[in-house]
Structure 1
Amino acid sequence: MTAYWISAYREISDPAKVAAYAELAGPAIAAAGGRFIARGMPAAVFEDGVEQRSVIVEFDDVEAATAAYASEAYAEALAALGDGAVRDLRIVPGVD
Structure 2
Amino acid sequence: MKAYWIALYKRIDSQENIKNYGAKVTKIIKSYGGRPLVRGGKFKTLEGETYPRTVIWEFPSHEQAMKCHNSKEYQDGWALAKETTERNLQIIEGFSTE
Same structural fold, with TM-score higher than 0.5 when normalized by the shorter chain: yes
Partner of 1:9: 9
Matched, 1:52 2:52: yes
The farther-off stretch of 71-80 and 43-52 is: 43-52
What runs of 5+ residues in structure 2 fail to find an aligned partner? none
SS at match of 2:5: strand
Query: How far apart are residue 49 of structure 1 and its match?
Result: 4.1
SS of match in other structure, 1:83: helix
Q: Quick one: distance in 2 between partners of 1:54 and 1:42?
A: 10
The secondary structure found in structure 1 opposite 2:83 is: coil
Return the alpha-carbon distance in structure 2 between the equivalents of residues 51 and 77 of structure 1: 22
Give the count of matched residue pairs. 96
Give the equivalent residue in structure 1 for 2:43: 43
How far apart, in 2, do the equivalents of 1:33 and 1:42 lie?
26
Distance (Å, rounded) in 2 between the aligned partners of 1:82 and 1:45: 25
C-alpha distance in 1 between matches for 2:54 and 2:5: 10
Runs in 1 of length 4+ with deviation above 6 angstroms? none
Contact 2:9–2:51 (CA under 8 A) maintained in structure 1: no
Gaps (5+ residues) in structure 1? none
Cα distance in structure 2, aligned partners of 1:42 and 1:88:
19
- By how many angstroms is 1:82 displaced? 2.8
Q: Which amino acid aligns with 1:33?
A: G
Identity %: 30
After TM superposition, the score normalised by the length of structure 1 is 0.92
RMSD of equivalent CA atoms:
1.3
